[in-house]
Amino acid sequence: MILWIGFAGVLGAVLRFSLGKWVSGLLGTAFPWGTWIINISGSLLLGLLYGWHQSQMISDGIWLMWGTGFCGAYTTFSTFGYETLGLMGRQRYARAALYVGSSVVVGVLAAWAGVWLTA
């Protein structure tokens, strides 16, 4: 099981890096859109996985592989903190507050939506 979790983690990390670079190139870097989109979509996916696991539509192994492995590597709290500090260091306080607030609120709503979609 540990190897499967690690394999999914590699997939999540590679997708996070690739998607983050692509989104930043597309939307620019004035706001950390890449990390924001990754964390919100990861929250939605984790909510879906949680709902499926709770309703026994997926096994414990699938839950661990994709929830812990993939989502754990795909989403990134440390980059979120780093980018928030970067915005604050450039005196973009309103943008930093928007980033923090929207990440938390929309992230929780996305996780809830994922669970709701599986009901």
Mapping DSSP onto H, E and C, the string for 3-35 reads: HHHHHHHHHHHHHHHHHHHHHHHHHCCCCCHHH
pTM of the model: 0.92
The residue count of the chain comes to 119
Written as tens digits, the pLDDT of the chain (119 aa) is 999 999 999 999 999 999 999 999 999 999 999 999 999 999 999 999 999 999 999 999 999 999 999 999 999 999 999 999 999 999 999 999 999 999 999 999 999 999 999 99
> How many structural domains compose the chain?
1
Q: Is 72 annotated as a binding residue?
A: yes
Domain extent for 46:
2-118
75 labeled binding residue = yes
